Structure 1
Amino acid sequence: MAGGDMDPDLARSLFEEGATLVLMGVPEGTELGIDYKSWQVGPRFRGVKMIPPGLHFLHYSSVRVFPGGGGGETGPRMGLFISLRPREVLLGHWDPKEEDLDFSASREEEQVDRVRAGLRDLDPFLGPYPYDIMRKWVSLTDRLTLEVASALQPLSGRVCSFSDVEPELQLPHTKDRAAYNLPRNDTQCQSMREGLERLPRMKQRPGTEFRFSHIPKQTYPPGATPEQITQCSMDLSYALECLLESRYPQDPLHVLGELQFAFVCFLIGNVYEGFEHWKKLLALLCRSEAAMCTRRDLYLGLISVLYHQLGDIPPDFFVDIVSQNNFLTSTLQDFFQFATGPGVDATLRKRAEKFKAHLTKKFRWDFEKDPDDCAPVVVELPEGFALD
């Protein structure tokens, strides 16, 4: 592990003020990372030192090595958000049965004090925090607090790239299955459909579900007139206000922290559900025309958040993922159209125009052309076929 070139004064400051993550028993070969960087654990690894205080994302994947040295198998990525204080020592032990880190020892002051007293001896086995990625990490999470992250992540405290599921019905015995009129497993399937029907219906294991904000499916108020329904379908401000009032009544800007949380879970945690929620939340924000006139700070913040999210990853990242079905360009096209409309604050309008020019140059996206769903469709006729 290397922390990159670092200013000596900064190195001294981080050495004195930085937090330390002591991780005992992590198997050799485990993929482990903090924030934007990850490594393969070597035989001497005991943790990470000189960690800047604040919010971080610790992630790891267990590796099972096949007998005979014929390669190995990497497990799903697990992660958790942690907030570290200056000079804090966070102690974790690897649980081989769960293939997970257990931080319960951090609650025992005696153990932590003993580790703290031996930090000088542990120092050669601690890798320095990769300071070269710190600015990028802070720009991705500057709106995200531990309070918001804790409220959004699963009750289990773990962000997992694979959904942890279990059967809806626990029916191991044939007589139990018969009571529910389920097919026996020892008879041959007659069709693909029958085979699929035999598979048990699965549900997410309680405590492993994300607790994202509910994005209202009904975008108009109860008792709305047809005219209001049409208006609220084009301008999603009513739905946005419902979300902000129900989830973030004290500080509506925390919704930007949720947008960052979902993006980090996708980009670093490999959680596709994070990407799906990011898309829905972004569409809601970008298509709320009236809100842009009343919530200037929220939308100035949104531009800043998107600037870093879209600026820190390679352009080709969008080809298969973010640009699918032209989602991002069409959503941002609506945003730029609304953000330059009448009644929008001059600073916000100017910032939006500058951001639009930046994206056009960086990704060669064209925000001026008609959206795909409005474009005429060219139909190729078979040879010899003529229209009367």
Structure 2
Amino acid sequence: MAGSSCVDMDPDVALRLFEEGATLVLLGVPQGTELGIDCKSWQVGPRFRGVKMIPPGLHFLHFCSVNSPSCGGEIGPKSGLFLTLKPREILLAHWDPKEEDLDFSASKNDEEVNRIRSTLRELDPYLGPYPYEVMRKWVSLTDQISQELAVNLQPLSGRVCAFSDIIPELQFRHTKDRAEQPRNDTACQSMREGLDRLPKMKQREGTELRFSDIPKKTYPPGASPAEITRCSMDLSYSLETVLEQNYPDQPLNLLGELQFAFVCFLVGNVYEGFEHWKLLLALLCRSEDAMRKRKELYLGLITVLYHQLGEVPPDFFVDIVSQNNFLTSTLQVKAQSLEKLLNLKPQEVNGILALFSE
């Protein structure tokens, strides 16, 4: 990998990490491909064969294919996948030039994996070391994401993609199918009319992130006008609905989903992750009754937000149209409830909010 580096460490420690850490053997990745793991990425060089000394646990492997220099050398959209690696595990993948993707089917071939293991020392000069300088950051951003949760939230296709794979809702496979569709050869009178004439598109099944559904109705069936007003101001009913439908026994997994959405956006460049992160954060911060009931969840939220907000510039959340800072307004709602619901003193609340403004 071009530009790869490893923090200085004792040779004995490095040897132990080499022997105990997991190894990703990635064969045939084209030179110039942008490839990374967790919060670090590199441009693949001609000698690259994979990544070694990877600490066991959850990781996000991501890559962008690149055209040949003769075609401009343009970099494609980012794809990635979450992996949970065990100590001394070897995961083998071959680059598929047709799909511009990594094919991990070889990892199911025990004979081939054992062959790689037996020649691992010879392969060592071609393996880039895991970037331990980002390990603490990565752990702080993902400590609530379990292997099971990552599998459940990741698309069925196994790939987190920066751009949605969309297809027409109606598949016109033959010329006669398209010919039978009504046509209007007159000029469009408005942008809306032009958009209405375009084919209706949908995301390809199996490629969508499987986030929790946020209820559109914030109140229970048969609610009175007073209850509707109360549930519109305090979203605890909606939050409890989300927890009951998705995490009835493990409510802290909602923080894991918040982290998953943030990482998909921050590292995977998935805008959908940012939108879902905002929805979850607004839901949590506008649920006053839930704060009283679920103190552990909200104390965990403070820690999660502290680490997340350290990764983005302070003006990132400013809405271009309204110039209102989404994050400031959301946290202000939360701050009004922290003191009385979590039994915190005013100076403690101010100290917590000061952390987010650093």
TM class, shorter-length: over 0.9
1:303/1:352 contact within 8 Å kept:
no
Give the corresponding residue for 2:15. Answer: 12
Q: How does 1:174-185 map to 2 (within 5 A)?
A: 174-183=175-184
What amino acid maps onto 2:201 in structure 1?
M
CA RMSD of aligned residues (A): 2.1
> Secondary structure at the residue paired with 1:64?
coil
Deviation at 1:170, TM superposition (A): 1.5
Give the corresponding residue for 1:33. Answer: 36
Q: How does 1:1-388 map to 2 (within 5 A)?
A: 1-67=4-70, 71-183=72-184, 189=187, 193=191, 195-315=194-314, 317-318=316-317, 325-341=324-340, 344-346=341-343, 352-360=349-357, 362=358
Deviation at 1:16, TM superposition (A): 2.1
Pair member with larger Rg: 1
What amino acid maps onto 1:110 in structure 2?
E
> Secondary structure at the residue paired with 1:340?
helix
Deviation at 1:225, TM superposition (A): 1.2
Instruction: Give distance in 2, aligned partners of 1:181 and 1:201.
Output: 14
TM-score after normalising by structure 2: 0.93
Which segments of 5 or more consecutive residues in structure 2 lack a partner in the other structure?
none
> Secondary structure at the residue paired with 2:325?
helix
Distance 1:247 1:351, change over 3 A: farther
Count of paired positions? 353
Deviation at 1:14, TM superposition (A): 1.4
Deviation at 1:8, TM superposition (A): 4.3
Distance 1:239 1:197, change over 3 A: closer
Distance 1:350 1:284, change over 3 A: farther
TM-score after normalising by structure 1: 0.86
Deviation at 1:65, TM superposition (A): 1.9
Instruction: Give distance in 1, aligned partners of 2:349 and 2:122.
Output: 53
Deviation at 1:283, TM superposition (A): 0.3
1:182/1:198 contact within 8 Å kept:
no
> Secondary structure at the residue paired with 2:83?
strand
What amino acid maps onto 1:35 in structure 2?
D
Instruction: Give distance in 2, aligned partners of 1:189 and 1:212.
Output: 41
> Secondary structure at the residue paired with 2:102?
strand
> Secondary structure at the residue paired with 2:67?
strand
Which deviates further from its counterpart, 312-321 or 5-14? 312-321
What amino acid maps onto 1:244 in structure 2?
L
Q: Deviations over 1:136-168 (max 9, x none)?
A: 000000001111111111100100001101111
Instruction: Give distance in 2, aligned partners of 1:133 and 1:333.
Output: 31
Deviation at 1:4, TM superposition (A): 2.4
